[in-house]
Structure 1
Amino acid sequence: MSHGADSLKSILFALFANAAIAVAKLVAAIITGSGAMMAESIHSFADAGNQSLLILGLKLAKSPPSEDYPLGYGKAIYFWSFIVAIILFSLGGMFSLYEGWHKLGHPEPLSSPLIAIGVLVFAIVAEGISMWGCLREVNKVRRGRSYWRWFRESRQSELLVVFGEDLAALAGLVFALCAITLTLVTGNPVYDAAGTMVIGTLLLIIAILIGNEVRALLIGQSADPVVQDEMKAWLKQRPEIQHTFRLVTMQMGADIMVAIKAQMKETGTEIGMIEAINSVEAEFKKQFPGVTWLFFEPDNAD
């Protein structure tokens, strides 16, 4: 994947973990009648489906350019990431809120709550492994930034989605465990219903945050700010360039489109300037392998 992080590996970690967790949660929800457990089960099934959509998006994004899509299909991954955010919002967040509201109005005692607790502990361990796999890839591209800043600046929508889903899943599992434990200790099923609604609210917040970041990528964001700074510094030290007037970038999935407007140093001949530009372009692509399209405009003023 681009930027040094293997997004597919993170997605596969999450897919296998969520598939196993979803089945375990569903069985526990049916046995215990827990609304929080049912909400968590739907959440995990939705997550497993989401990861399948991300894999599809990554595959479609690699399709070669065509006459209708001369810059390729790289942004396809943004579309599927946005669909995932919608699913997380609707099937995850809204269903959990509905389930919690229903349980508040019609509270039912839990049966075999210890089974639910055991499944939740297993799920926390499995989801923790998935989160570890995701963080390992995130740390390859975070470059010293906080996780929040990386989340706001990253251009890898698929990695953003997996990170957000795993974070929401871990937090949701902890809330569900607390809710069921309180219900077991007090005998009051209201705690289970309240936990379900907290999980729903958490999922809605995460889905909105992910959707907002992917929306920006769909509209057309520049490359990662850290990468842009590296590009500017690289151009500044090139002996062929007198001054860089403008650097415009656009992230296209795993690929980057770059347009440069610069004043070249005098070479004495037109051929010499062309050779200098060709040299800069070739070295630029070596330095930044994610750059697929590079447009260079020599000029003496902006």
Structure 2
Amino acid sequence: MNRKQSDDKTRVTVLIALAANLVIAAAKAAGGLLTGSPALLSEAAHSVADSMNEVFLLASLRRSRRPADERHPFGYGKERYFWALLAAVGIFVMGGCFSFFQGVEALNSTEREAPGGYAIGLAVLGVALIAEGSSLGRALIQVRGTQGKTKDPALRTVIAEDATAVLGVLFAMAGMVLHLITGNIVWEACASFAIGLLLVYIAYRLGAEARGQLVGEAIDPELRRGIRSMLDSQPEIDNVDTLLTMKLGLDSTLVAARIDLVPGLDSESVELVSVRIKESVSRTWPEADHVFLDITEAPPG
């Protein structure tokens, strides 16, 4: 599957998640305002944050595919990680912080919900659980098509959001049921705090991954060892002094190597060797689309 086809599938997955979250957010907010449930309001904030983040992810899919130009000679692949970082910030601020606020508000509240309020709230959460689970299932099916692994930050973010949404709904339902049974709102406060902690953790993990890519993370060690092994095996190379790599996007990698050639090669041979090695690296690892060699010809022996 090429990158365009993969992006098209990811776009559909994100759009499904966005549609589900918009409907769920409206239902949760209406239910929360009607019932006064802090756990339900926390979940509404969670869904609003997810909806905004999916808009960011759609922007990342479009902007990251722009071709390289004079200002960005290595392309726009890192746009995905920038928008994924914004999504992580959105989860932290809009979801996590608001959930903590609702927990504190609940602890200071002395009101008790009417039985009808619990029924409305639990019904809304039940529908949300089905919708969030369906969206998560769609994302997991797409990941299964990539042998169970994905480097796409947009798809990884959708999976993280949907998985935490399912857990968040379960926390909210547990808090409401325990509040109904015991008459103690502290259970809903605990549910809000649990949702907030979950969102802060997910935001941290997603943000850390995006940060690593934005500051210039190297390629996987196994891939780096493979490239170095290929360079070492070339008969014209006497020594690989330095090998530097950096991910430029999902399917784009920069490889820069400082190599010493064996003695006795003339300038024409050096040029031919350089072209052949670059082509060999790019042919073996198509994602290594920017290969640079700093060649030092060894002095005659």
Please, what TM-score do these two structures have when normalized by structure 2? 0.83
Tell me which residue corresponds to 2:25. 22
In 1: Cα distance, 2:133 partner to 2:45 partner: 19
Tell me which residue corresponds to 1:84. 87
Superposition CA RMSD, Å: 2.9
TM-fit CA distance, 1:53: 0.7
TM-fit CA distance, 1:264: 4.6
Tell me which residue corresponds to 2:162. 166
One-letter identity of the residue aligned with 1:54: L
Contact conserved, 1:155 with 1:223, CA < 8 A, in 2?
Answer: no
One-letter identity of the residue aligned with 1:122: V
Tell me which residue corresponds to 1:292. 289
Q: Could you say what secondary structure the match of 1:30 adopts? A: helix
Contact conserved, 1:266 with 1:273, CA < 8 A, in 2?
Answer: no
Tell me which residue corresponds to 1:198. 194
Q: Could you say what secondary structure the match of 1:291 adopts? A: coil
Tell me which residue corresponds to 2:245. 249
TM-fit CA distance, 1:269: 4.3
One-letter identity of the residue aligned with 2:25: A
Q: Could you say what secondary structure the match of 2:218 adopts? A: coil
Contact conserved, 1:156 with 1:253, CA < 8 A, in 2?
Answer: no
1:120 aligns with 2:116: no
Please, what TM-score do these two structures have when normalized by structure 1? 0.83
One-letter identity of the residue aligned with 1:67: E
Q: Could you say what secondary structure the match of 1:220 adopts? A: coil
Q: Comparing both chains, which one has the higher relative contact order based on Cα–Cα distances under 8 Å and sequence gaps of 6 or more?
A: 1
Tell me which residue corresponds to 1:130. 135
- 1:104-136: CA deviation from partner (whole Å, max 9, x where unpaired): 101432343123222222222322233233334
Contact conserved, 2:262 with 2:297, CA < 8 A, in 1?
Answer: no
Structure 1 unaligned spans of 5+: 144-153
In 2: Cα distance, 1:120 partner to 1:271 partner: 71
Contact conserved, 1:5 with 1:138, CA < 8 A, in 2?
Answer: no
1:100 to 82, 91, 103: 103
In 2: Cα distance, 1:71 partner to 1:63 partner: 11
TM-fit CA distance, 1:207: 1.2
- CA distance 1:157–1:266, change in 2 (3 Å): farther
TM-fit CA distance, 1:295: 0.8
1:50 to 47, 53, 60: 53
Structure 2 unaligned spans of 5+: none
One-letter identity of the residue aligned with 1:61: S
Contact conserved, 2:80 with 2:154, CA < 8 A, in 1?
Answer: yes
In 1: Cα distance, 2:148 partner to 2:230 partner: 20
In 2: Cα distance, 1:34 partner to 1:239 partner: 72
Identity value in percent: 32
In 2: Cα distance, 1:284 partner to 1:137 partner: 29
Tell me which residue corresponds to 1:211. 207
Contact conserved, 1:155 with 1:217, CA < 8 A, in 2?
Answer: no
Tell me which residue corresponds to 1:147. none
TM-fit CA distance, 1:281: 1.7
- CA distance 1:240–1:118, change in 2 (3 Å): farther
Residue correspondences, number: 291
In 2: Cα distance, 1:23 partner to 1:191 partner: 24
In 2: Cα distance, 1:13 partner to 1:283 partner: 41
1:272 aligns with 2:269: yes
Q: Could you say what secondary structure the match of 1:223 adopts? A: coil
Q: Could you say what secondary structure the match of 1:298 adopts? A: strand
Contact conserved, 1:81 with 1:161, CA < 8 A, in 2?
Answer: yes
- CA distance 1:240–1:133, change in 2 (3 Å): farther
Contact conserved, 1:223 with 1:250, CA < 8 A, in 2?
Answer: yes
TM-fit CA distance, 1:250: 1.1
- CA distance 1:241–1:120, change in 2 (3 Å): farther
Contact conserved, 1:14 with 1:130, CA < 8 A, in 2?
Answer: yes
In 1: Cα distance, 2:275 partner to 2:118 partner: 69
1:260 to 247, 250, 257: 257
TM-fit CA distance, 1:76: 2.1
